[in-house]
Chain A
Amino acid sequence: MPGGEITELLEAWSEGRRDAVDEVFARLYDELHRLARAQVRRAAGAVLTTTEVVHEAYVKLVDARQVSVSGRRHFFALAARAMRQILVDAARRAQADKRGGGAVRTSLDEERLRLDTEATAVLALDEALAQLLALDPDLGRLVELRFFGGLSVEELATTLEVSERTVKRRWRMARAFLYRELGGEERP
């Protein structure tokens, strides 16, 4: 996939051409998924981290010299969203497999339990995030960018054009909400 095309699409979106968005998202989803898969295969037994996947995609797809600040911002916003979707979709599949696979759990399989918990956790987090996005879209997007997109505090500050202090403070608020939603604290 030529770097120029995605960059152009991102710029087009910046200029208000809305139909560019779906195209970018679709391609990003495919590419990120491909990269994620490759990473899992490579690091058998180790961890898949979204940060690396997203940054790898950026390097591959975007012409850093041509892209504008807002183009960059759009990239990461979409990539974060796509990454979230990839994980959520995978979690759903994992749950479905477990249920419909036909295998019967005959014993308390700790490994299985952990894996099960993991899928559930991803899905629960996704739902809480959806709630946050409805209440406060800015905070929600921050979570996506940081958690799924894997941007660091500095990168977030540059991309969103705010101070690092602001990023940290907002992140703290978002986390508090999510923690509470996921049952860490009594709801009002």
Chain B
Amino acid sequence: MSRSDSERFRRAVAVVEQLLDLPPDQRLARLEAECGGDAELAREVESLLAADEAAGGFLEQPAHVWAGAVAAAVRAGPEDLEPGAVVGPFQLTGVLGRGGMGVVYRAERATGGFRQQAALKLLKRGLDTDELVARFRRERQILAQLRHPNIAVLLDGGVATDGRPYFAMELVEGEPITDWCDAHHLSVTGRVRRFLDACAAVSHAHANLVVHCDLKPGHIVVDEEEHVRLLDFGIAKLLAEAGGEGTVTRLGGRPLTPAYAAPEQLRGEPVTTATDVYALGVVLYELVCGRHPFVADPDAAKRRAASGRAPPSLARALTRPAPDEVEAVEVAKRRGTSLGHLRRTLRGDIEAIVQTALATEPEARYSSAEALAEDLQRYLAGRPVRARRPTPSYRGLRFVARHRLGVAAAALVVLSLLAGAGGVVWQARATTREARRARAVIDFLVAVFREAAPARSPNGPRTTVKELLDRAAPRIDSDLRNEPELRAELHGVLGELYEVLGLYDRAAPLLEKALTESRAEYGERSPATVQALQRVGSLLTDRGKYREAEAVLRRALAVQDATGIDGGRERRETLRRLALAADLLARYDESIPLFRKALAISSGSEGPDSDAALADARSLGITLWKAGKNDEAEPLLRGTLERARARHGDDAVELTEIEKGLALLLADHNRFDEAVTLLADAVRIQRERLGPLHPNLAETLDDLAQTERLRGHFEGVGELFSEAIAIRRRALGPDSPQLAFSMNNYANYLFFQGDFSGAAKEFGEALGILRRSLGEEHPAVATCMGNLGVVLHRQGRLAEAEPLLRHSLELRRRSQSEPREEVMLGLTNLGLLHVAQGKLDQAERELGEAGTIAKATFPPAHPRRASVEAAQGRLRLAQGRLEEARVILEHALETFTVSVSPDDPRVAEVHLDLGRAFAAQGRLADARPHLETAVRLLAGKKGYRRQYDLASRWLRR
């Protein structure tokens, strides 16, 4: 049934109603008028009219049934069925228990010559029963094939004669794992071992893309042969997701067991593998310390969902006063140990493991049941556990995209990206409609992924996440031709996934489609369109198209303002992205108030110490610094750092970004020592927490290397750069822009060391990568190109340098607005080249413009301005305007003397030029000291041989 059928029907009804008001002879005319040329519509109208005439007394009486079979059936059931009753192929033989959802019977079926025992759950009639049955039919194959020694097999399911659904599972007689371990007085270690079996089962199911979503001790039982068996796999999810039409039912809504539900589940968001990890965490918690992490009443659970509180430590939970719970001493006894010993055990690594599994944000948890199991195995073996480190964020990890994995693993990565990475798929899905859409998205992707997996081979062909996404993309258009809403949603989701993985080229067309489709389906003023605009804007920012990004994001903001759509998280997100774009365009008078607004929202809604507020404060600090407002920026960043420390401790990853921001600020003001200290600390934390291969570590290493260089400490700088480059190459791939940035920075370093050929090589490589990955127009391309040009100039390859410097300048002109520092730099470099080439008129124009910008942008004693002056000085020298040259050069020298290190080649060059100026004026006595200084500074300086020789020659005159 498509939307157009529905529309046509309603239209037809409206026409018929009109016609019925008219006398019969006028009807035909009106019919033709209303239907236009639409023959189908006309036919529908006519047939309805005819039916209306013929209907007579049809259905006039409300429903009634004669005392007959139906009435008898009404009278009879649906009772509890008696033993002996037949449901599907099963015969009921007894009652096992009663639940909220229905009765569980003991049953058996005759199959292959023996009687198979089963536990048959017969569900009560509910609103969602039809949907449930339909879903089950679709999922049945997958669920029935879930075979694992620790999973109770789903034997069959279907619909009983009265329409009630039933599920028959392998009959497992056992005790919940918690009770069993208590009865056997199992130690903590022993319990963990048993628990590992449960993890294996969950892991297996996840690999087959089946989520349990109602894990709890009652579903993790130990049978008579002491095997751990998991019950009800997949059923709970079906039940939770079955939704009736219209607005009536919760969707993934009230979880079946609130005490074990993850926060996102309590909020009604769709469940994923991370949800199961959470539930496992709760069970582990109980197994280990005999207590539930939160007092197990539904209200507490809801409060927890709202506040995102972390659970108390195991030791604390054990010793909390708990009149309804087992005594702490008894708990210890049931673990075969003393209270003191148990407390000590609970303070060990097991605490870290449990806390990680119970993290509020899905992305902060173990990424899979397998990861949890691995850490538990490390714990048992006495090896260090990973738990203290948060799992690395997947944002921007291209290696994830290109890493070859088994299909199921790749699919799991995608699903965890959906669950975890901020902003993807769903944030707070407030309405059931949105939740339903989100679930439909997952269903679609899962279906595509399942097809990619060959039948039942655990080591099937390897694929990459990218390939899975590539598979899904064309299917959206082909399979969902008649479902425009879902199509729009999937285009948006898939586009964002590509973006997160750094595959911008693939992301762009999908996000554009999502926007067009959202507009068509929902109109301009709708949350879906706002989100689509945000995504497009975010991608544009990533690609360096800041102007366009800004336009798009402003539009999103305007819609949000006009419609009052979501004043909270979404708005903050848009404001942030807009602010970022403005910041990258160096429009600080805009970025500052925007970040302030974002900060107001995040502090107001999540608290001033929340992670969101800290991030916003940091961004604000950085943009203030860039705008030159250090009076505000520095205290803000310092304050934010303190807050982050207070909240997360000294070893937390959250500190590193703030440390880096503050370091940038300090370095810019030549306070290198403290900057280096901060960066070194950030490196330490990242190495510990993120591992030696993490891209974020590479970024910090890069920053540290550059800062050390600026400080004038060259020892070890080369190694830092090399490490950064190696990490980025390995983790992000050989085509990554970040890799190119590191190469660029390394090349800068080489340049300052005088290794011009090394620098040229690195710049060349970096430029190639940047052009390929970011396109010709990206600002970074302009910078790198300019750098290469400067090096070539130094190497004397003037003809090669010129086109590069020209092009770089042009790009800079095109991409920037005020202040035009990049343009000034480009002009200076080109001007210097033209001086060297003798094209003095051109140099005059270029350096003139550079000078104007410099004056407008920098105070008189700023080193950047002095650089321009030095260039102008050289020009005047070449033009023979010696007095002017002298004045400018002296001024530049003054500035350099106080603001840059004496080792800086610029100083030596100014001395040289100044010396030549004096000498050309015949003032040899004045020339001498400068030339001597130049010679001294240039002696042994690699790469400056030419200047050195020049200075020496002049000196000898």
Contact = CB atoms under 8 A, between A and B. Distances in A.
Interface of A: 18-19, 21-22, 25-26, 29, 33, 36-37, 40-41, 43-51, 81, 83, 85-98, 100, 111, 114-116, 118-119, 122, 131, 133-137, 139, 143, 146-150, 169, 172-173, 175-180, 184-188
A178 B13 CA distance: 13
Given A135-B5, A135-B9, A180-B51, A116 B78 contact: no
Interface stretch (B59-67, B768-776, B898-906): B59-67
Contact of B9 (A95, A98, A136): A136
Nearest to A137: B246
Interface string B33-48: 0000000100110111
Contacts of A143: 59
- Counting chain A CB atoms within 10 Å of each CB, the highest count among B43, B124, B161 belongs to B161
B50 A185 contact: yes
A162 B67 CA distance: 36
A148 B47 contact: no
Contact of B249 (A21, A87, A91, A135): A21
B849 to A, nearest CB: 63
Contact of B127 (A21, A37, A83): A21
B55 A184 contact: yes
A92 B162 contact: yes
A188 B294 CA distance: 61
Nearest to A133: B245
B648 interface: no
A94 B250 contact: no
Contact of B125 (A29, A91, A115): A29
A44 B66 CA distance: 10
A95 B160 CA distance: 12
A138 to B, nearest CB: 9
Contacts of B40: 188
Interface in B129-171: 161-164
B62 A146 contact: yes
Contacts of B562: none
B59 A119 contact: no
A139 B52 contact: no
A91 B254 CA distance: 32
- A-B CB proximity, top 6 nearest: A96-B161, A90-B73, A188-B43, A180-B51, A176-B52, A150-B62
Contact of B66 (A95, A118, A176): A118
B793 to A, nearest CB: 69
Contact of B250 (A22, A47, A97, A118): A22
B113 interface: no
Contacts of A180: 47-48, 50-51
Contacts of B70: 87, 90-91, 94, 115, 118-119, 122
A26 B9 contact: no
Contacts of B76: 93
A40 B67 CA distance: 7
Contact of A94 (B17, B59, B69, B249): B69
A143 B63 CA distance: 11
Interface residues of B, number: 59
B5 A176 contact: no
Given A48-B74, A135-B1, A25 B52 contact: no
Contacts of A115: 68-70
Contact of A136 (B10, B16, B51, B86): B10
A98 B124 CA distance: 23
Contacts of B64: 47-50
B436 to A, nearest CB: 12
Given A81-B127, A115-B69, A173-B16, A134 B59 contact: no
Given A90-B73, A136-B9, 20 more contacts: A22-B249, A26-B124, A29-B125, A33-B74, A40-B75, A49-B63, A93-B76, A93-B78, A96-B161, A134-B245, A139-B13, A172-B20, A176-B55, A177-B48, A178-B59, A179-B54, A179-B55, A180-B48, A188-B43, A188-B44
Contact of A49 (B62, B245, B253): B62
Contacts of B73: 89-91, 93-94, 97
B72 interface: yes
A31 to B, nearest CB: 13
Contacts of A135: 1, 5-6, 9-10
A87 B73 CA distance: 9
Contacts of A172: 20, 52
A70 B59 CA distance: 27
B23 interface: no
B59 to A, nearest CB: 5
B315 to A, nearest CB: 36
Contacts of B65: 47-48, 87, 118, 122
B323 interface: no
Contact of B62 (A26, A51, A185): A51
B474 interface: no
A182 B6 CA distance: 19
B59 A147 contact: yes
B623 to A, nearest CB: 40
Given A21-B127, A96-B162, A175-B58, A118 B68 contact: yes
B381 interface: no
Contacts of A188: 40, 43-44, 46-47
A175 B49 CA distance: 11
Interface in B57-105: 58-59, 62-78, 86
B126 interface: yes
B250 A19 contact: yes
- Counting chain A CB atoms within 10 Å of each CB, the highest count among B71, B126, B128, B249 belongs to B71
B463 interface: no
A176 B67 contact: no
B106 to A, nearest CB: 22
B62 A98 contact: no
Contacts of A29: 124-126
A93 B162 contact: yes
Contacts of B20: 169, 172
B455 interface: no
Contacts of B51: 176-177, 179-180, 184-185
A49 to B, nearest CB: 4
- Counting chain A CB atoms within 10 Å of each CB, the highest count among B75, B246, B247, B250 belongs to B75
Nearest to B86: A100
Given A19-B254, A89-B164, A178-B58, A40 B6 contact: no
B538 interface: no
Interface in B659-693: none
Nearest to A87: B63
Contacts of A98: 69
A47 B67 contact: yes
Contact of B48 (A86, A87, A111, A176): A176
- Counting chain A CB atoms within 10 Å of each CB, the highest count among B58, B64, B247, B254 belongs to B64
Contacts of A92: 161-163
A135 B259 CA distance: 41
30 contacts: A21-B127, A33-B74, A40-B74, A87-B70, A87-B74, A88-B163, A89-B73, A89-B162, A90-B71, A92-B162, A92-B163, A94-B72, A97-B69, A97-B161, A111-B68, A118-B65, A118-B66, A118-B70, A122-B65, A134-B245, A135-B9, A137-B245, A139-B13, A147-B62, A169-B17, A172-B52, A173-B16, A176-B55, A178-B59, A185-B51
A5 B16 CA distance: 44
B432 interface: yes
Contacts of B77: 89-90, 93
B248 interface: yes
Interface in B11-36: 13, 16-17, 20
Given A169-B20, A176-B55, A18 B62 contact: no
A107 B10 CA distance: 47
A86 B69 contact: no
Interface in B247-290: 247-250, 253-254
A99 to B, nearest CB: 9
- Counting chain B CB atoms within 10 Å of each CB, the highest count among A25, A45, A83, A98 belongs to A25
